[in-house]
Amino acid sequence: MCFYEQIVNTCGDWKWGNFKAHCSKEYRTGETCGMKMVFESYHVQEHCKYCVKIQTKYGRIAKEEDRIKRWRAEGNRRASIDASQNAIAELEREIWELNSKRSSQTHNIGGSRRER
């Protein structure tokens, strides 16, 4: 095990920061073993990049839904409503992707050395 900084966002997500110390087992070889442990946590006053993007996309969905509501009231806007609904479906797909990236970033304590 080797020890790293842990950077914690206000959304509760976190990622690994800088390398801090070797464990006793690896100390002599001077290499990191790939098993990551928390050395110290830093709290930053911002959401992680994934949550920021997800929130932006939710905002765009809300706007599209407002437009759809307005068009429904106006009537005769079938094509506009269809296009808007397609845009929402696309945004939801992107949110789903961001969420899966977000959770793969989060839950690999003691895992691979894939993160910097």
What is the smallest separation between the CB atom of 107 and Zn ion, expressed in angstroms?
A: 13
Query: With binding defined as CB under 5 A, does residue 48 bind Zn ion?
Result: yes
Q: Is 51 in the site for Zn ion (CB under 5 A)?
A: yes
Strands 2-8 and 36-43: parallel
Beta bridge partners of 15: 7
Q: Residues touching Zn ion: how many (CB under 5 A)? A: 4
Site for Zn ion in 8-37 (CB under 5 A): 11, 13
Q: Classify 62 as helix, strand or coil.
A: helix
Site for Zn ion contains 88 (CB under 5 A): no
Closest CB to Zn ion among 10 and 85?
10
**How open is the CA angle 24-34-104, to the nearest 5 degrees?**
135
Q: Is 39 helix (H, G, I), strand (E, B) or coil?
A: strand
Q: Residues in the site for Zn ion, rule: CB under 5 A?
A: 11, 13, 48, 51
